[in-house]
């Protein structure tokens, strides 16, 4: 699947189809029927996705199959099937789309770019220790967006990548929206440490954004 993802990121659709055929053949040989079925359906959904990138009308005749796949709850393909179904049916799949987790929004933070809170693509972030006396460890993961060609799917639906953005950025603000620090994120997944020992004790907002405007906000506390 990693080779398939790599070929998709290069928009080499012919090689990607070949990769899917290889995955499907391996699935047929599997003795575990549930896993085999899930892999085969994954390949079917990904082939429809590739077809939709080349022909806007390619999804219309597969609406029922996409609806069934979206409702399966599969970590491999259901999220992609949901988005493809919404395109095919020209509707929002409210029955499947999960309610967003409560996210604290900055009171006065103004970000000029359009923010798209697509739950399936939100960046993952872990911040610790929190509260802190100065050093903050940050683990982040953009895999939900950038894996399996989901970034290409966003482009197809009219959500475009910001120019000069590699993977995303991480910013620290005061509670009233003043930008204190900003870091460019050049990896899909990484960990690093920030030193805020010089900050005045109090609360701050840490905002992580990908290149398509999806963001998450974490409130951090500096206690001395």
What average pLDDT score do residues 43-57 get? 83
What value does the mean pLDDT take over residues 124-148?
A: 85
- The three-point CA angle 15-50-157 to 5° equals 140
Residue 168: CA count within 13 A, CB half-sphere: 27
pLDDT in tens, 151-181: 666 666 677 788 888 889 999 999 899 999 9
pLDDT of residue 12: 83
* Distance separating alpha carbons of residues 201 and 220, to the nearest angstrom: 11
**Distant-in-sequence, close-in-space partners of 38: CB < 8 Å, separation ≥ 6:** 74, 76, 77
Q: What is the distance between the alpha carbons of residues 152 and 180, in angstroms, rounded to a whole number?
A: 33
Q: What is the pLDDT of residue 5?
A: 73
**Level-2 CATH architecture, domain 119-222:** Sandwich (2.60)
Has residue 115 got a pLDDT over 90? no
Residue 105 reports pLDDT greater than 50? no
Which residue ranges make up each domain of the chain? 2-89, 119-222
pLDDT bucket at 110, cuts 50 / 70 / 90: very low
Instruction: Give me the chain's average pLDDT, please.
Output: 79
Residue 34 has which token pair?
């549930």
- State how far the Cα of 95 lies from the Cα of 148, in Å rounded to an integer: 24
Please provide residue 42's backbone torsions phi and psi, each rounded to the nearest 5 degrees: -55, -45
d(CA 33, CA 87): 30
Longest pairwise C-alpha distance within the chain: 61
Give the total residue count for the chain. 224
Could you report how far apart the first and last alpha carbons of the chain are, in Å?
A: 47
């Amino acid at each position: 699947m990693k080779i398939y993802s790599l070929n998709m990121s290069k928009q080499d659709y012919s090689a990607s189809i070949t990769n899917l055929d290889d995955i499907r053949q391996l699935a047929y040989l599997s003795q575990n029927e549930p896993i085999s079925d899930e892999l085969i359906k994954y390949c079917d959904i990904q082939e429809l996705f590739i077809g939709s990138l080349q022909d806007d009308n390619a999804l219309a005749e597969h609406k029922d199959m996409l609806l069934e796949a979206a409702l399966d709850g599969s970590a491999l393909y259901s999220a992609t099937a949901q988005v493809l179904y919404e395109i095919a049916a020209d509707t929002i799949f409210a029955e499947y789309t999960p309610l967003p987790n409560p996210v604290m929004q900055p009171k006065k933070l103004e970000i000029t770019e359009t923010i798209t809170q697509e739950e399936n693509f939100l960046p993952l972030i872990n911040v610790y220790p929190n509260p802190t006396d100065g050093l903050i460890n940050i683990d982040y993961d953009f895999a939900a967006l950038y894996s399996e060609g989901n970034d290409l799917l966003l482009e197809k639906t009219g959500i475009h990548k910001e120019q000069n953005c590699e993977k995303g950025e991480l910013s620290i603000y005061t509670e009233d929206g003043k930008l204190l620090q900003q870091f460019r994120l050049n990896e899909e997944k990484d960990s690093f440490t920030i030193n805020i020992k010089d900050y005045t004790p109090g609360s701050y907002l840490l905002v992580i954004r990908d290149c398509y405007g999806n963001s998450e906000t974490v409130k951090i506390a500096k206690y001395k």
